[in-house]
Amino acid sequence: MSKFSASVTVKLHGGPLDGKSAVSYGAVVGSLIDVNHHNYRVTTVDTIPGWTEMIANATWVAKRPLVARSLVVKPKL
């Protein structure tokens, strides 16, 4: 990709938003985008001849569960 586009229409694959489209500002291959609190990794970005808009594909990335840490309270003396 030689230039950034103002808007990139991204086709989402996998996860809860499978088959839906989203618009991302300047998406590039390998970037992580957040769509309604779900992570998607951009896999391809293509130009449309004669158009200034670009289209892309993205796959769902499962979020890692948070690890609970124990909280140690130190008493004040």
pLDDT of the chain, 77 residues: tens digit per residue: 445 556 899 999 999 999 999 999 888 899 999 999 999 999 999 988 888 788 999 999 998 777 877 878 888 87
The domain in which residue 39 lies consists of: 8-61
Is residue 73 one of the residues assigned to a domain?
no
- Read off the DSSP letter of residue 15: S
In a domain, residue 32? The reply is yes
Query: Both tokens of residue 18?
Result: 């499978």
Find out whether 35 and 56 touch, Cβ atoms under 8 Å.
no
Q: Could you tell me which residues are beta bridge partners of residue 44?
A: 57
When divided into structural domains, the chain yields a total of 1
User: How far is 51 from 74, CA to CA, in rounded Å?
Assistant: 62
On whether residue 67 sits in a domain, the answer given is no
Is the residue at 1 inside a domain?
Answer: no
Residue 38 counted as domain residue? yes
* 3-state secondary structure (DSSP) of residue 25: coil
Q: What is the DSSP letter of 53?
A: -
pTM to 2 decimal places: 0.72
